[in-house]
Amino acid sequence: TTTTTTTITTAATESTRDGSHKEPVAVDPRIAATADELWFLRAATPLLPLMVNFTAETQVEEIYLESFSFTSMLFETIFHCPSYSHWYFTHADQITLLSFLKTSLKALQWLDRRRHAYSHPTQEYHPRRWLLKSPAHFERVPQVFEVFPRARVVLTHRSPLAIVKSACTLIVYLMRLYSDQISPSETSWLWTDRVVLLLDRHLANRPALARHAAHVLESTAEAYWTNPLAFVERIYALIDEPLTAESQARIKQYIAEHPRRGGEALHYSLDALGIRAEEIEERHGPVLARYQEFLDTLAVQ
């Protein structure tokens, strides 16, 4: 994705269905229901874990929660709806959307407090830090700080063409679940334009983002992949929380059990999507050049 918030999680697991996938031990019935949904999703899209892998207890993008406002990137990731995409990027009020998200999180935290009081009546309730992650934030970081003034933001940056290949491959593959008429080329061009617009708006927001520099951690994706533990240590420093020896051990274990396989995991190809790098450069050359210049500057920091 264009930008991600990184988290390392561990959970007790058990085999499910045919044992080919493992999900966290589900005590909460909502987690059990989610595990069943993920089993179906993986059965229908077996290559999906090679692109984005998650379990019933790991964080997912809050675009699902935002969809209840009918203003969310979710709809255009699963349906071919160019008119909605145009409306979202030209008329959707991001402050209103983020305010809806904040209210939703408050409601969930209130419910969490109620559940805690019911299940642990003698123990004090300690609110947990919310972890949000979504490429949608990439174009609206200043608005994020306006609605969430105490937020800490982690941004990872990649080569524009790498973003296009990854995003378009994922979207075209996911749409198989919702439509029997998919044009890989048309969908890929729609999302290429979307990605470039995200990059352009992010670059335009750089001066406003600079005012929050103390609360933002930025890095190239390559730096994160090269040394994920060091990157996590920087995140803990950003949020001013101690990284305990136990947490470090869990992170190291997770890294060892989930090695990055790079290009061996899945072959991403623009040709397979029906688009070419030369055409993208011709169509969006100025924006790509400006973003690549920024990326080169970030890489040497």
Residue range 253-266, pLDDT digits in tens: 988 887 765 545 68
Average pLDDT over residues 23-49: 80
- Report the pLDDT value the prediction gives residue 27, as an integer from 0 to 100: 62
pLDDT in tens, 48-89: 888 887 788 887 889 989 999 999 999 988 888 889 999 998
Answer whether 0.95 is exceeded by the pTM: no
% pLDDT > 90, the chain: 58
Spell out the long-range contacts of 256-263 with Cβ–Cβ below 8 A and sequence spacing 24 or more. 260/225
